[in-house]
Amino acid sequence: MIGFAVLALLLIASAIFTVTARKPVYSVVGLLVNFVALAATYLTLQAEFLAVIQIVVYSGAILILFVFVIALLSSGTKAFDIGPDRMPRVVWPALLFGIVGAGGIAFAAVRTVTVPVAVAGQTGQAGVFGSVADFGNALFLQNILPFEVTAFILMVAVIGVVLLAGDEIPPRRRPRRPRESISPPREPIAR
Amino acid sequence: MNVPAAAYVVLSAILFFIGIVGVIARRNPLIQLMSIELLFNSANLALVAFARTWDANVGHIFVFLVVTVAAAEAAIGLAIVAIVFRRTTFVDVDEVATLKG
């Protein structure tokens, strides 16, 4: 319980820092802390493979992409200098909605079951919930179609990114001369 | 030692609201994209908590799908930001209104 409280505080604090940071680079740092804390939270929920995925994909790939784009865009003139922010107008209604929503969810879920926190030494064996073997079994034997859908999504994303951010479109070859049309030219439509 | 499942769900809701505030209030497109990542992560947290609660493995598969979609979204979103910035040096998302009808 204490571990969960620490992780929750870390998650919320890093998320708030990410949203309210002045520069995108500071946001990236906050987001990194958030991702790592979330991976630790997954570990308390016995989802060890997802914790590894969280570290590798989010902290390893997506954040590096963000850092690259920030470095690319802010190398020239002063880029992304934040102007007048909408934060002061939004923060109080959002806070109100957040507190009411979280309170409502807590009130509705008070009678649900509790989650046993993972015991050290229990995870990692085959057949244990959340282990790599368990996840692979569920992914490749029972849910093979979603796995292939993810492959398709990634392929479409790669093609889209190459089309968007690639170089200029190479000049087309000269279009062919249109063939002589067989049908006589159309009469203009009378209006 | 047990933690109520509602605690995880409430934590997920709080993170989701923080992310929504980030998407709505910030004008920097990069920070907006990062806030969208926060939204994905909060949904993932709820899914993992429910999967652990009911001993259902399918929640992990859902999280796998969401991670894939988040990666694709980040790649395409950053590509769009880069290409828009290459054409017009904008500092504000509201100034990008080329597609406005």
Q: What tokens were used for B61? A: 């598969």
- DSSP characters over A53-65: HIIIIIIIIIHHH
Q: What is the mean pLDDT of chain A?
A: 77
- On whether any CB of chain A is under 8 Å from the CB of B24, the answer is yes
CB-nearest to A73 from B63, B74, B82 is B82
Q: What is the mean pLDDT of residues B32-41?
A: 93
Helix (H, G, I), strand (E, B) or coil at B3: strand
Interfacial A residues in 13-32 facing B (CB < 8 Å): 15-16, 18-19, 21, 24, 27-28, 31
**Digit-coded pLDDT (tens) for B70-89:** 999 999 988 888 887 777 66
Distance CA B31, CA A18 (A): 8
Distance CA B78, CA A32 (A): 18
Closest CA–CA distance from residue B99 to any residue of chain A (Å): 16
Closest CA–CA distance from residue B100 to any residue of chain A (Å): 20
Q: What are the start-end ranges of the H helices in chain A?
A: 2-20, 24-44, 48-53, 63-73, 87-108, 132-137, 144-165
Residue of B nearest to A68 (CA): B78
pLDDT recorded at residue A55: 92
Low-confidence ranges of chain A (pLDDT < 50): 77, 79
Residues in chain A: 191
Contacts of B75 in chain A (CB under 8 A): 65, 157-158, 161
Interfacial A residues in 105-144 facing B (CB < 8 Å): 105-106, 109-110, 112-117, 129-130, 134-135, 137-139, 142-143
- Cross-chain Cβ contact A65/B75 below 8 Å: yes
- On whether any CB of chain A is under 8 Å from the CB of B66, the answer is no
pLDDT recorded at residue A172: 58
pLDDT recorded at residue B45: 93
Residue of A nearest to B94 (CA): A83
Distance CA A71, CA A67 (A): 6
pLDDT recorded at residue A78: 52
Helix (H, G, I), strand (E, B) or coil at B2: strand
CB-nearest to B1 from A1, A113, A139 is A1
Element (H, E) at B60: helix B58-87
- Cross-chain Cβ contact A153/B1 below 8 Å: no
pLDDT recorded at residue B92: 64
CB B92 within 8 A of CB A83: yes
pLDDT recorded at residue A187: 64
pLDDT recorded at residue A45: 85
pLDDT recorded at residue A116: 63
Contacts of B21 in chain A (CB under 8 A): 19, 87, 90-91, 94, 98
